[in-house]
Amino acid sequence: MKQIALYGKGGIGKSTTSANLSAALSERGLDILQIGCDPKRDSTRMLMHGRFIPTVMDLVRTQGDAAVTLADVEFKGYNNVRCVEAGGPEPGVGCAGRGIIATFQLLEKFGALNGDVIVYDVLGDVVCGGFAMPMREGYAQEIYLVTSGELMSLYAANNICKAIKRLSSRVKSKCRLAGVICNAKGQPREEELVAEFARRVNSSLIGFIPRDRVVQLAELNKKTVIEYEPASAQAECYRTLALRIMENTSLTIPTPLEIDELESLAYSFI
């Protein structure tokens, strides 16, 4: 079983990439589980044709842990991709990080963490130990960073490298940086820049997703690109990404950059 997690700046396209990746992987006849690890709970929405599925935390809150079953939280989406949303507390109260930990414990209890590939789609920043959970305890062993060529996006990716570096130094840790995915904004020399960033943090560019209108159109039609426009070049990009991820064996401990290093890198690609 392959377990991968996508991390990156908020709004950079992690959920879109995750959903299309899961869809592309499912086309290969694989059993896929996608877990949204964000209280905003919209990771699996395109796989579910626009439906916000009940979240694990919602059900725990309304019914209590004991009453929740796997059937209540796991939903079959496009091409039988299994979808789970962790959810979390209402905005502004409680502890969303602890909610992620509780969700994982519950999924563990259900024996739900199986299949050929598990895709963990995690919220923008690793703000606390809870959101590092998918990287810990032998869950996701391969971390993919989703970034554009924009400085703030690279900055967030670099910060996540710090978390991976810290966690990978632990004795039993299996978590490694597996690659960088460039979800392009369409700026000049973007692919080159992100590839160079990836090299500098001791990794490589595993996929380049160009900016394409079809992504928005698919979203407005509540579908993944794979489902909405299967013959499009964009869909092919996601399929290529899926193939590369399945074949990828290059797992590294990242070497995060200092901020001035990062800035001068971005500057040199103006």
Partner 1 sequence: MSLKASPTLSSRSGGCTLTGALSVTTHVRDAASIIHGPKGCAHHNFSLLHATGLDNDLAVIPALVSSALAENDIVFGGEEALARTIQAVSLRDVSAVFVLSTCIVDTIGDDVEAVCAREYGVPVIPVSTAGFLGGTFHDGVNKALISLAGIAQPIEHDRNVNIIGEMNLEYEVEENYAEILRLLTLLGLPAGIRFVHTLKFDEIGMLGAAQLNILRDPSLVPVGEFLKSRFGTPYISSFPHGLSGTLAFLKSVADTCKIDGSRAMGIERALQGEILADFADLGESRAVFSGPVSDPVSFQAAQETADALHIQVGKDSGSTPVPVHPVVGTAGVKRMLHRWRRALHA
Complex with partner 1: residue 90 or 247, whichever CB lies closer: 90
Q: Which amino acid type is present at position 183?
A: N
In angstroms, rounded to a whole number, what is the distance separating the alpha carbons of residues 190 and 177? 21
Q: Print the binding letters for residues 27-66 with partner 1: x by CB under 8 A, - otherwise.
A: ------------------------------x--xx--xx-
User: H helices within the chain, ranges in order?
Assistant: 14-27, 56-63, 70-73, 96-110, 151-168, 190-200, 213-220, 225-228, 233-247, 259-267
User: CB of residue 96 vs partner 1: minimum separation in angstroms?
Assistant: 8
Q: What is the dihedral of CA 101, 102, 103, 107, to 10 degrees?
A: 100
In angstroms, rounded to a whole number, what is the distance separating the alpha carbons of residues 247 and 263? 32
Could you say whether residue 127 binds partner 1 (CB under 8 A)?
no
Torsion-angle region of residue 251: left (phi > 0), alpha (psi -120 to 50) or beta?
beta
Half-sphere exposure of 163 (CA within 13 A, CB side): 24
- Of these, 96, 132, 140, 182, which contacts partner 1 (CB under 8 A)? 96
Complex with partner 1: residue 54 or 94, whichever CB lies closer: 94
User: CB of residue 97 vs partner 1: minimum separation in angstroms?
Assistant: 9
Window of 18-26, 45-53, 84-92, 236-244 that interacts with partner 1 by CB under 8 A: 84-92
Question: 16, 15, 8: which is closest to 148 by C-alpha?
Answer: 8
- Reduced to 3 states, what is the DSSP secondary structure of residue 39? coil
Complex with partner 1: residue 98 or 162, whichever CB lies closer: 98
The reply to whether 125 belongs to the active site is: yes
Could you say whether residue 134 binds partner 1 (CB under 8 A)?
no
Complex with partner 1: residue 57 or 112, whichever CB lies closer: 57
Length of the chain: 270
Complex with partner 1: residue 102 or 117, whichever CB lies closer: 102
Could you say whether residue 102 binds partner 1 (CB under 8 A)?
yes
The reply to whether 109 belongs to the active site is: no
User: What residues are annotated to the active site?
Assistant: 9, 14, 40, 125
Binding site for partner 1 (CB under 8 A): 57, 60-61, 64-65, 88-90, 93-96, 98-99, 102
